[in-house]
A and B are shown apart, each in its own frame.
Chain A
Amino acid sequence: MVKIGLENVTKIFTKKKLENKVLDDISFEVADGNFFGIIGQSGAGKTTLLRIIAGLEGPTHGKVKFDNTVVAEEGKIKVPIEERNIGMVFQTWALYPHLTSYDNIAFPLRAKKMDENDIESTVLHLAKMLGITEILVRKPGRISGGQQQRVAVARALSKSPSLLLLDEPFSNLDATIKDNARSLIRTVQKELSITAIIVSHDPADIFSLASDTLAITDGRNAQMGRTSDLYHKPSNLTVARSIGEMSVIQGLMTQGSGKDVEVKLGDRCKLGFRRDELIAIVPENNTEVRVGFRPESLEVLEENNTALKGSDYWVLIGNGFVKICSYSAGIFRVLIRLDGLDDDIAVSSDVSIDTDSRISLYAKRDDLKLFDSNGNSMLNYSMSLGKQGSSNDERRRIYAST
């Protein structure tokens, strides 16, 4: 029910005359009713960003706007947190330990001096929606983690806030109930059509909830856009890795024949790229580059199995052995060590593969990512991307030479 706008927000913490720039020139807008994600590694500044939006901190420079009202500007908080009408779910949930769940949920309403009868109906309605009716009389110390989290969500929603802020709300939950909690929040957010912002380091949170996402690294806007775009068209390696798993192999880029550029991986694999598939100027000969692979864009075959040889879609990366094969939610995660390479490569597989067995590793050619030695993406995504890029004339020309 509110549009959030950040304009050139910079935050500098000064401690003993040492300046620490936690956020650097962040700007974005969250449309009314949208679910916005902020992802980044720990220490990237994402929690500080959320605290600035909440009003727990003021931006050192820049503006924060709620609709058209400037709520904070140039180090000054103009509208304090208690007047911003936000609901906030903290990482630790921060429930009041001396109050019952009921009183916790009723707290924001009592602070507003709402009539006790109205409070009761609101609390009971939310409790029913979140399935915590039976534990309302209990104090937070006497209920499970999942229930505590739902009480925290109910408390954040009870005063019908115009903005819901979630700070790593699922990180203290058991893996088995995380998805339930996510779907609950998604449902509630849609039902109340409330603007929401979630901060997390876990791609699962972001994918399940946020339609648009900002990736921050070292306090800077690394990339912003549709959540799926961050995954498929990462602007740099850090973004690619924060939004999902990515294995990287070092390669050497050289001039190929004609308009092509070749990337050599190990001594067996050469990948070819057209010039227009790359952004900016192609570096000189023998520049170090990195090729990134998502686990689902790789396929493992027994060594010397030629099923994929000559395929238009698959390219042989190399031979190696299985370091370990683990299991998670219906998918086997296989860690591969290729001959002559030092880095492990993670592959998702439908079947379990024995440790130490010899394999050949194939990659889906259209899903490769290419980064320069600084980790910035070298691909021109508008020329070659995912499914659209798979059409014949646009397809990236990659070949394997063995």
Chain B
Amino acid sequence: MIRPLKIAKKTIHHAILIILAALWLIPVYTMLIDGMKSAGGVLTTPILQPTGLSFTPLITVSSALELPIVNSLILAIATATISTFIGALAAFYFYKGRSWTNNTVFVIIAIATFIPYQITLVPITEILSTLGLFNTYPGLIFTFVIFHLPGGALLMTIFMSNLPKSIVESARADGASDWIVFSKVAFPLTLAGAVSTFILTFVEVWNNFFIPLVLTSTPNMYTASISLLSYTGGYGTLYNDSFAAALVASLIPLLVFVLLGRYFMRGFLALGSGSKG
């Protein structure tokens, strides 16, 4: 009596999983198939039907996307590194001791994480123009860091709260200064969490469209996300090139996940199990 019930249950579970996976894979599949169609083929064949393999659109967009991808890489790596590192420093400060001021700052950071960045983009544009940082890497990085640092600090605080107090106390007893405690003990032990924070920030910056749209004015500063727009013009859309460009632009975050994914998993697992490092 139990067996058929078990099998039915399993079948339903798997069916649900397959449907969810398909839902997620359809856009990826479309991107892959249509990015390899010719300009004519993409317009004449149904969107889900493959028609031959042509690497021409991929090659075309790859060379066109070279500079935007480099731009995106610079911005995403710089922002993710700065946000994670300063976030970790902030987290260490909160870890060291809770006080009235600490709690207040922490609440402000938590609120800042959830402020929609669109609201503040106009004043930031003003500030950057005044400082002569409009349409520059430092200006963009500065803006991205403003919006991603609170998130980084919040995440690192959550990861660092898992660090056993006695290890930090023992480091202090061993005569270590705050900087040594942070750099030699606290940070290495929350490395998995730092990598997770890095990846999240990296992907968010990579995918961000609005900030570079507002803060860049010349094509040489365009990021990958902005460049995708250039395949859609007032006179028509190069659908196969759009799909190919989207494919190329999504490869980098994918690569980051593949390379650092195990740290990512470990970081979040550590939160659940309470295991350290």
Bind each other: yes
A contact set with B: CB distance below 8 Å: 54, 56, 80-83, 85-88, 90-92, 94-98, 107-108, 110-112, 155-156, 159, 165
Q: Which of B218-243 contact A (CB under 8 A)?
A: none
**Chain A residues near B188 (CB-CB < 8 A):** 98
**Chain B residues near A95 (CB-CB < 8 A):** 167
Say if the beta carbon of B166 comes within 8 Å of chain A: yes
Interface size on B, residues (CB 8 A): 19
Contact at B175–A85, with CB atoms within 8 Å?
yes
Contact at B175–A94, with CB atoms within 8 Å?
no
- From B171, B173, B184, B185, give the contact of A86 (CB < 8 A): B173
- From A82, A92, A98, give the contact of B173 (CB < 8 A): A82
**A108→B174 CA distance, assembly (Å):** 5
Nearest to B180 among chain A residues (CB) is A111
**A25→B173 CA distance, assembly (Å):** 25
**Chain B residues near A85 (CB-CB < 8 A):** 175
Interface string of B236-277 (1 = CB under 8 A from A): 000000000000000000000000000000000000000011
* Given known A-B contacts A97-B277, A107-B184, A81 and B170 have beta carbons under 8 A apart: no
- From B169, B170, B174, B177, give the contact of A159 (CB < 8 A): B174
Contact at A108–B166, with CB atoms within 8 Å?
no
CB distance from B177 to the nearest CB of A (A): 7
Nearest to B177 among chain A residues (CB) is A82
* Given known A-B contacts A81-B172, A82-B172, A107-B184, A94 and B167 have beta carbons under 8 A apart: yes
Nearest to A81 among chain B residues (CB) is B172
Say if the beta carbon of B138 comes within 8 Å of chain A: no
- From A91, A92, A97, A111, give the contact of B174 (CB < 8 A): A111
User: Interface SS of chain B: helix, strand, loop or mixed?
Assistant: helix
* Given known A-B contacts A90-B166, A94-B166, A54 and B276 have beta carbons under 8 A apart: no
Nearest to A139 among chain B residues (CB) is B277
CB distance from A2 to the nearest CB of B (A): 15
Q: Which of B158-202 contact A (CB under 8 A)?
A: 164, 166-167, 169-177, 180, 184-185, 188-189
The 6 closest A-B pairs by CB, nearest first: A108-B174, A94-B166, A94-B170, A88-B173, A111-B176, A111-B175
Contact at A82–B175, with CB atoms within 8 Å?
yes
* Given known A-B contacts A98-B277, A107-B184, A112 and B175 have beta carbons under 8 A apart: yes
**A82→B174 CA distance, assembly (Å):** 7
- From A80, A91, A97, give the contact of B276 (CB < 8 A): A97
CB distance from A151 to the nearest CB of B (A): 12
Looking at A56, A112, A159, the one whose CB has the most chain B CB atoms below 10 A away is A56
**A108→B188 CA distance, assembly (Å):** 17
**Chain A residues near B180 (CB-CB < 8 A):** 111
**Chain B residues near A82 (CB-CB < 8 A):** 172-177
CB distance from B221 to the nearest CB of A (A): 40
* Given known A-B contacts A92-B164, A107-B184, A111-B180, A97 and B173 have beta carbons under 8 A apart: no
**Chain A residues near B184 (CB-CB < 8 A):** 107, 110
Contact at A97–B189, with CB atoms within 8 Å?
yes
Contact at A88–B189, with CB atoms within 8 Å?
no
**A320→B169 CA distance, assembly (Å):** 53
Contact at A159–B175, with CB atoms within 8 Å?
yes
**A85→B174 CA distance, assembly (Å):** 8
* Given known A-B contacts A107-B184, A111-B180, A96 and B175 have beta carbons under 8 A apart: no
**Chain B residues near A54 (CB-CB < 8 A):** 173
CB distance from A209 to the nearest CB of B (A): 20
* Given known A-B contacts A94-B167, A97-B189, A155 and B277 have beta carbons under 8 A apart: no
Contact at A96–B172, with CB atoms within 8 Å?
no
11 further contact pairs, Cβ within 8 A, besides A81-B169, A82-B176: A56-B173, A81-B173, A82-B175, A90-B169, A96-B171, A107-B184, A108-B175, A111-B171, A111-B177, A155-B174, A165-B173
**A110→B181 CA distance, assembly (Å):** 12
CB distance from B10 to the nearest CB of A (A): 37
CB distance from B98 to the nearest CB of A (A): 11
**Chain B residues near A88 (CB-CB < 8 A):** 169-170, 173
